[in-house]
Amino acid sequence: MPVTCSFPEHFIVLFIVISHLITVIGKLNPWPKSLPHEILSLDIATRLRFDHDATRMASSDFGNLVQLVPAAVLRPSSVTDILDLISFSYNCSAPFSIAARGRGHSVRGQAMAHNGVVVDMTSLNTDNDRIRVSWSSSLGFYADVGGEQLWIDVLLTTLEHGLAPVSWTDYLYLTVGGTLSNAGISGQSFRHGPQISNVHEMDVITGKGELLTCSKHINSELFYAVLGGLGQFGIITRARIVLDKAPKRVKWVRMLYHDFSAFTRDQEHLISVDGMDYVEGSLTTNHSPPNNWRSSFFSLHDQSKISSILNKHGIIYCLEAVKYYDDDTILTVDEELQALLEGLSFIPGFIFNKDASLVDFINRVRSGELSLQSKGLWDVPHPWLNLFVPKSGIMDFNAGVFIDIIHKRNKTSGPTLVYPTNQNKWDDRMSAVTPAEDTIYAVGLLHSGGLDDWEALDDQNKEILEFCDKAGIEAKQYLPHYRTKEEWIHHFGEKWSHFQEMKAKFDPKFILSPGQRIFYKD
């Protein structure tokens, strides 16, 4: 049965449009059976790419583990282009799938649309008015930001006004819409919550092709569903982000531990008291250098010193903390920081300090990325595993995963993060899922592999998940990846029924974000 759509047919221009497309983009791939020919009669036709170069770009992502080729790529010049595409699909007799792609930083094909259309959101990033700073008596300072904007650009633009967002991700070259569709976490989350907890309002294009403004008070069901909703209910085209006065500089401290219990106890203490602005942590083994691509913090002398205790203990834990300051607090910040660190149980003599600008700290991962790119080591397989582990299970996780799997197997190549955050900074009405405990640990196993050995790392990830199941650790995947509906139901738990209801309400024809594989199968 041919695919048709309930749109006016303009076949008289069909061959003109095809000729124009061939002139502009060169040799076309064979016409994709999943798309109706009537799509070429739309105003967006000249912004659709069907050629091999465009579809190849959209068929891979940062993970380099999955390849799913779309039928076409839309490079929109306006939000209206995206609205027209989704409306067209919704009105087709056989709707085709659509996925929004920002920087393509997903690792399991989440932003892909096999035989569908990928929307290249970065094409919208040509309008200087897509980041606007404002103030109101009810909200204070905020920024209206296009969903396609990068967080680094949000930072630099808001700093021009002496302001900045309060919650970040470790890596800033991600789109606003992308991180809000997941959660957006970093070392500030314990204090301010994830990025999804710092949004006043959004404009969203639903799977029905409706452009809706939503907030806690307007279209609230859509607002809470979209935040952490994995792209299942709509494409974020604008977000109103909370801003606060920006500090100028940071005091940046790292402390080393060989006792995991002392390490986590001190982390939990720092997130329970007022004073620190950022708390994270990581582990290093004697198989890996103290510095990694996330941050070249330690000097050569410090690295030599650290290597000596690594050889002794085999594995050490690094507590990382930051306190912001500006001209008003420059004379007191050192004393305040010292008071916060008083009584902590790090290894004597193994505390390291840095003073950095806010931009250099917040954007600390960028230099590592550029270094790896220059060596051809950035665009490699990344079988990452990100988890939220409840406090009740973190000691068992350390023994069973960090020590018995990661350290003893010595397969891991890349940073391993572990740090606590406060559950009360999350809003359970949102779609994001975390363990049901007051304190939860973010664990990031940021592996890098080669084309011939990444599967061994992926098998190790599976072993880690199996360990959690057998040990009764109720961990939840962050940036989740599952292959079956049953796994997704288990992941969402009590939220699953409501998640389904919201899908039926806002994307009833299962058009959006098929790469998540929650409701869609090839």
Is 280 part of the annotated catalytic residue set?
A: yes
How many residues make up the chain in this entry?
522
292: three-class secondary structure by DSSP: strand
Residue 327: count other Cβ atoms within 10 Å of its Cβ.
Answer: 9
Residues 6+ apart with CB under 8 A from 50: 21, 25, 28, 29, 31, 32, 71, 72
Which tokens in the block code for residue 326?
């500006």
Residues 248 and 198 sit within 8 Å (Cβ to Cβ) = no
483 Cα distance to chain centroid: 20
Residues 6+ apart with CB under 8 A from 55: 29, 49, 69, 70, 71, 72, 73
| Catalytic, out of 38, 84, 170, 268 | 170
Torsion angles phi and psi, residue 449, rounded to 5: -135, 180
43: three-class secondary structure by DSSP: helix
What's the rounded Cα separation, in Å, for the pair 202 and 482? 28
Is 266 part of the annotated catalytic residue set?
A: no
What's the rounded Cα separation, in Å, for the pair 377 and 64? 12
| Catalytic, out of 38, 280, 320, 507 | 280
What's the rounded Cα separation, in Å, for the pair 494 and 487? 13
Q: Is 188 exposed, middle or buried (0-12, 13-18, 19+ CB in 10 A)?
A: buried
Of 281, 263, 278, 252, the C-alpha closest to 191 is 278
| Catalytic, out of 61, 105, 268, 320 | 105
Q: Residue 152 corresponds to which amino acid?
A: I
Is 170 part of the annotated catalytic residue set?
A: yes
Which tokens in the block code for residue 45?
């036709």
What's the rounded Cα separation, in Å, for the pair 251 and 335? 11
Helix (H) or strand (E) holding 263: helix 260-270
Q: Please list the active-site residues.
A: 105, 170, 280
